[in-house]
Structure formats: structure tokens, C-alpha cells
Amino acid sequence: MTNEATSAQPIVNATLLEEGTLLKLVLDKPKGNVLSMAMMKALSEALAAHKDDPHLRLVVIRGAGNHFSFGASVEEHQKEQAPSMLASFHAMIRQVAGYPVPIAALVEGSCLGGAFELILACHMVFASPTAAFGCPEIKLGVFPPVLAAIGAQRLGYPLNERLIVTGATIDAAAAERAGLVSAIFTGGNPEEELLDWYRKNLRPLSAFAVRQGTRVARIGSGMLEALQEPLSKIERQYVDEVLASHDGNEGIAAFIERRKPAWNDR
């Protein structure tokens, strides 16, 4: 596994656009833009660095290359690393969910596992027709804690339960029908289409008013509360029960070793 923390190249590229009113963050570790702990740290630091920019109205997160992200590092799901990985990931999710201005995810290609959980915490999601969303964790003998905590709010209870229990993926059209995706960009240049949307809908507004509206919308939604004790309880179940189980470890090991898992159903 590549040690991204020591890479000479940045793994999250930050660019201010539109006279400093829009921050673009690019997850830049192709081809999968895996959300390793190093990637999480870089994303969290980039968000923290611009949290108090007075004119900021929107943050856009996208992936370099053809995919948003394949999700969190499977290697870091191993028993020895998983508790610290989960703690870091959930801290970043809470940071995204409570950010003072809207964060929009621009999704092309695969958006799976932890990446799907990341966009659930964003305020808006835009997608290309190629986008695919889902959490396949159940196929590795584990479960997605953030999806369990806030998926019903973002997707509705029936779809959320199906995604958790089966590990199914949905396309951009299904995500739009569920209310998660705000728009599907079909013109061939999703970033330019998102900039057009921004210039029409947020750029003319007061940055102060945008911050106020963002805060009250999240207070009223109940999402911030769901990401506190409920998520902490779900995380404890993962650490205490899944990491102590045969199948939770077998599924991760089988994926890393590129073999079929041998389930013991315990």
C-alpha cells in the first residue's frame, strides 16, 4: 500500500475560484482517490484553512480522473488500524456536516463506501450520468456506520435499509429520485455546469446570509445530532462486535488477498 502521507504530490488540491467565493477541493490519488487516513487528514486541513473566509459561499469536492472515490482504504479496515481509522473518518464527517457554508459533492464515476458516506454529509450533491453510489461493506462482512446513522434522513428508510443490508449500488437517476442528487449534468463538462449553477443560485447572495441559512438548515434537519451519540454508538458496535468477529476480519482479509471469503456466520 502506498504511503500517501510521504508523497511529494498533494493528495487534496485546493483552489479558490470566483474571486475567492468558491473553494474547489480535488481528491487527487487516481485512479480510485481512496480515502486513506492521509487523504482524510488533507481534506480536513483544507476545510479548516478556509472555514473563516468571510466571502466564501460554497465548497466543491470532486475526484481527479474518472471516479469520485472508491471509498475508504480496505487495508486500514484491518483490526489493528480500524479503530483509529473510524475515529478519524467520523471526525471528518462531522466537520463536513457542520461546515459553515454549503459543501457540494460533484460525483463522476464510482462513489462507494466511505466516499458515499462523505457525500451524504455534504449539503448538496451533483452528478454526471456515469455516477454510481453505494456502500458494499456488507460484502466484506462489515457495515457502513455513517450510512447507518444518517442514510435514512438523506435517502429515506426503505432505500437506506436495502443499501446497508445488500450492498447494492444505485445510479445517478435513482439518487436523484431519492432526493440526494440535486441535478444530473449531461452537457459533458460537469464542473463548468456546476459553476453555472453556482453563479445563478449562490454567487449573487450575501455570504453572511448563506452561512446563516446553512446553519439553521442543519440544526433543523437533525443530522448533526445523528452524527453525535447515535454515530458513536454505531462506531462502538463496529469496534466491539465486528472487529471481534471471525467474518468481519475474514471479509477484509479475503478482499486484500483477492480470494473468496470463507464465512463462519459468526
Q: pTM of this prediction?
A: 0.95
Note the pLDDT of residue 9. 72
CA distance 58 to 210: 9
Q: Look up residue 66 and give its amino acid.
A: N
29 pLDDT above the threshold of 90? yes
Q: How far apart are CA 43 and CA 92, in angstroms?
A: 8
> How far apart are the C-alpha atoms of 73 and 114, rounded to whole Å?
9
Confidence of residue 8 (pLDDT cuts 50, 70, 90): low
Is the distance from CB of 163 to CB of 143 less than 8 angstroms? no
The structural domains of the chain, with segments of one domain joined by +, span 4-188+208-257
How confident is the model at residue 1, as a pLDDT? Answer: 30
Task: Work out whether the CA dihedral 25, 2, 252, 86 comes out positive or negative.
Answer: negative
Which amino acid is present at 115?
Answer: A
Note the pLDDT tens digit of each residue in 124-136.
999 999 999 999 9
Which tens digit of pLDDT belongs to each residue from 222-237? Answer: 999 999 999 999 999 9
* Cα–Cα distance, 180 to 187 (Å, whole number): 20
Amino acid identity, position 156: G
Higher pLDDT, 186 or 9: 186
Instruction: Answer whether residue 6 shows pLDDT above 50.
Output: no
Please determine, for residue 112, whether its predicted confidence score (pLDDT) is greater than 80.
Answer: yes
pLDDT tens digits along 45-86: 999 999 999 999 999 999 999 999 999 999 999 999 999 999
pLDDT of residue 10: 80
Q: What is the mean pLDDT of the chain?
A: 95
Single-letter code of the amino acid located at 176: E
Q: How many residues does the chain have?
A: 266
> Per-residue pLDDT for 174 more than 60?
yes
* CA nearest neighbour of 68 among 148, 123, 3, 127: 127
**Residue, of 9 and 43, whose pLDDT is higher:** 43
d(CA 35, CA 167): 19
The whole-angstrom separation of Cα 183 and Cα 240 is: 40
pLDDT at 252: 97
Among the CATH numbers 1.10.10.10, 3.50.30.30, 3.90.226.10, 3.40.50.920, which is that of 4-188+208-257? 3.90.226.10
Between CA 179 and CA 102 the distance in angstroms is 17
pLDDT at 3: 37
Residues 138-156, mean pLDDT to the nearest whole number: 97
- Range list of H helices, 26-184: 37-50, 82-97, 114-121, 145-155, 157-166, 172-177
